[in-house]
């Protein structure tokens, strides 16, 4: 019987889907695959536009049966679309309490429990309202479709779920806090307690008013032109939060000096 590599399964929305893309010369997927090479197969099951309501329906078709492949690690990141405002034309909104329950149900789904994987539960990253509104306005939408403060509530729900979980193999990856903190440290003159970075109100500050024109603004490092999807630097923050938590076992096949071989006369 052939040997199979255990899987590192990434499950989420477009932020996961695009993690395999090359962004500004950087690829989250390539870095993760290098870290896992010869130990795990990294499998990207990111689905652009999906929310937790969608995820609940397809989850059983995403997870392989244990007799096909062992899922050793699973990373879960949803919330960017769930946090769309209720009146958003996209109809992607999932109410906060329903989102909370959906995440809990995903974490305890029988298809996942069958593998007993280490689960990395990720908070949805922050947004930038000015870029969101720029795109929404161009589409003819009368109001903005996402708010930084609302996305923060969904991130906080994930933190609470991780804190309350009794699964000792559940690891919180607080991408939202990591990116906000990085942005704060790179924002000249930022005052603690000032307007939240990435909001329309915060955009009037000296630090954010040049967002669209000058790269010195920290959000230019993290958010692509739509204010939602990550740049290469944003994915770099993501991978730096994740890698310290990944334990790497020995190679599936031994190093070449110990590799089995057939010698022929």
Please report, for residues 177, 189, 208, the alpha-carbon distance to residue 184 in angstroms, rounded to integers and kept in the order given. Answer: 10, 9, 11
Our CA angle for 68, 74, 76, nearest 5°, is 130
Which among 180, 51, 174 is positioned nearest to 128, based on CA atoms?
Answer: 180
**The one catalytic residue among 2, 14, 165, 205:** 14
CA dihedral over 57, 59, 62, 64, signed as positive or negative: negative
Coil, strand, or helix at residue 191?
A: coil
Does residue 205 have an active-site annotation? no
Name the helix (H) or strand (E) containing 8. Answer: strand 7-12
Instruction: Give me the residues paired with residue 173 across strands.
Output: 122
Q: What whole-number distance in Å separates Cα of residue 12 and Cα of residue 45?
A: 7
> Could you say which DSSP state residue 124 is in?
P
Ramachandran sector of residue 116 (left: φ over 0; alpha: ψ -120 to 50; beta: rest): left
Cβ 150 vs Cβ 220: under 8 Å: no
Sole residue written with tokens 């603690």: 192
Q: What whole-number distance in Å separates Cα of residue 262 and Cα of residue 244?
A: 39
Coil, strand, or helix at residue 41?
A: strand
Sole residue written with tokens 């990116």: 179
Coil, strand, or helix at residue 84?
A: coil
Active-site residues: which are they?
14
């Amino acid at each position: 019987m052939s040997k199979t590599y255990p899987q590192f399964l990434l499950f989420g929305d477009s932020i996961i889907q695009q993690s395999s893309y090359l962004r500004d010369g950087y690829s989250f997927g390539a870095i993760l695959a290098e870290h896992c090479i010869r130990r795990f197969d990294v499998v990207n099951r990111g689905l652009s536009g999906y929310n937790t309501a969608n995820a609940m329906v397809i989850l059983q078709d995403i997870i392989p049966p244990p007799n096909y492949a062992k899922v050793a690690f699973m990373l879960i990141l949803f919330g960017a679309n769930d946090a769309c405002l209720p009146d958003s034309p996209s109809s992607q909104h999932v109410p906060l309490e329903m989102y909370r329950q959906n995440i809990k149900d995903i974490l305890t789904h029988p298809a996942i429990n069958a593998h007993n994987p280490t689960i990395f539960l990720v908070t949805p990253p922050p947004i930038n309202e000015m870029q969101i509104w720029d795109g929404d306005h161009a589409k003819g939408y009368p109001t903005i479709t996402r708010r930084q403060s609302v996305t923060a509530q969904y991130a906080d729900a994930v933190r609470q779920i991780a804190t309350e979980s009794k699964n000792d193999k559940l690891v919180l990856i607080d991408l939202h806090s990591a990116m906000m903190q990085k942005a704060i440290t790179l924002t000249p003159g930022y005052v603690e307690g000032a307007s939240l970075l990435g909001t329309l109100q915060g955009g009037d500050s000296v630090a954010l008013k040049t967002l669209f024109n000058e790269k010195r603004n920290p959000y230019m490092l993290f958010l692509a032109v739509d204010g939602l999807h990550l740049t290469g630097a944003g994915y770099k923050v993501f991978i730096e939060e994740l890698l310290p938590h990944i334990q790497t076992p020995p190679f599936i096949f031994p190093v070449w000096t110990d590799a089995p071989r057939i010698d022929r006369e």
